[in-house]
Structure 1
Amino acid sequence: MFGIHDLGLFMISGLLLNMAPGPDSLLIVTRSAAQGWRAGSAAALGIGSGTLIHIIAAALGLSAILATSATAFSVVKYIGAIYLLYIGIGLLLSKSAAVTSVDDVVLAPLSLRRIYVQGFLTNVFNPKVAIFFLAFVPQFISPQAENKALAFILLGCIFNLNGMLWCHLLAVTSAMASQRLQASRAVSQWLNRLIGALFISFGIKLALVDR
């Protein structure tokens, strides 16, 4: 159908790739642990929206510009790196706020809308996602397909759906684990710093990546 082949393999591979740890999943875990599964789901929806932008751009050939233009790739890369560094530094400098007692603490709460935007920007300004779709998805489209763009979008949406299922599961399980683990103020503060350091490392890694 639409020139797509090995759909089962594509779905399994896509799910495994979505489960690989990265800044997207880290953002979901962080927000779910701090504000509950709704916050994690808001981050996941933002990430899914960013992925959809990459899918459409790749299908229209816009992502090919990132693959062939060093300037375009560098601009998007550095914007994404700066944003990851911004999140990481914010976590490093954040102070935990008491909620139910002196010992029960969370990150300073954000609106669901702002969390959604965080997820969207974290994903959409990562040029590696665009390059990934250009490299991965065409392997499952027949060279004889009549409408390759339509087949690309369909496969991309399937990939995104798998990713959303995993991301929402991650949000729920992270929120449940956070409720069971009542961290002390000191532990929570160090956890924020650790996660902030991870975001900074992702930002530095993105800034140093080559096309």
Structure 2
Amino acid sequence: MISTGQLTTFFIASIAIIIVPGPSVLFTLARGVAWGRSVAVLTVLGNSIGTLVLSIVVAIGLGPLLAHSKLLATVLQIAGGTYLLWLGIEALRHRHAHAKAMAQRESVRPSNLHVIRQGFTVGVLNPKSLVFFAAVFPHFVDRSKGSVTIQLLIFGGIFSVMAFMSDGTWGFIAGTAREWLSGSTTRLVVLRTIGACVMMTLGTIIVVTAISQ
């Protein structure tokens, strides 16, 4: 149903958006810095479940519409790219405040269920993932390959697995190097700045690509 070429380009695009330190990555880093690897992993688990649920909702909701409207796909790409650009600008503006918040440690360790629930909430409400699902997924859909909804569901599943592996790595690093990361907000500011710049770049590329189609 889905060609190797589709999967390859989707894989590359997914890596580009997943490794960017967005809301889910930064939340995982904060949990890892505060409580170590175990809490970071539980956070990633909840986040990945939330991401998967979000991808399913988007696939079922947009699939039938995208199957009959190429214009809608273009509009979504422009809107999503613009929003991603705005998120990057906001992240850059508030990078110092976010870094200070991440470096703070809570006095009481939350329960495992609470950690998973928090991770799920961040995952299902993650604007970066929502933009990617709604604005970028349609670019990889080939109407000649069968059901648009099924293709979107497959892409969503692949993306969720990749996100789990990437965020899990971030969480492991944060939990292991918690003293080093929390010892200087400058390091967290640099991380936030890089993420903001990448989000702005991706947003610009998405908008330009959609307009030029």
5+ unaligned residues in a row in structure 1: which ranges? 69-87, 97-105, 203-211
Number of residue pairs matched by the alignment: 157
1:124 & 1:181 partners in 2: Cα distance?
27
Aligned 8 A contact 1:31 1:39 in 2: yes
1:120 & 1:59 partners in 2: Cα distance?
19
Structural mapping, 1:1-211, within 5 Å: 1-2=1-2, 5-61=5-61, 107-127=107-127, 129-178=129-178, 183=183
For 2:152, give the aligned amino acid. Answer: F
More displaced stretch, 53-62 vs 2-11: 2-11
2:60 & 2:181 partners in 1: Cα distance?
46
Aligned 8 A contact 1:2 1:151 in 2: yes
Higher helix share: 2
2:145 & 2:43 partners in 1: Cα distance?
35
The C-alpha deviation readout for 1:156-195, integer Å capped at 9, x for no partner, is: 1111111111111111111111256785xxx7xxx6xx89
Percent identity between matched residues is 25
- The normalised TM-score by structure 1 is 0.62
5+ unaligned residues in a row in structure 2: which ranges? 66-72, 76-96, 197-213
Aligned 8 A contact 2:29 2:40 in 1: yes
Superposed displacement of residue 142, structure 1: 0.8
For 2:57, give the aligned amino acid. Answer: A
For 2:16, give the aligned amino acid. Answer: L
Aligned 8 A contact 1:4 1:151 in 2: no
The DSSP-based 3-state class of the residue aligned with 2:145 is: coil
Superposed displacement of residue 2, structure 1: 3.8
Superposed displacement of residue 4, structure 1: 7.0
Distance 1:140 1:111, change over 3 A: same
Aligned 8 A contact 2:33 2:182 in 1: no
Distance 1:58 1:109, change over 3 A: same
Superposed displacement of residue 41, structure 1: 1.0
- The normalised TM-score by structure 2 is 0.61
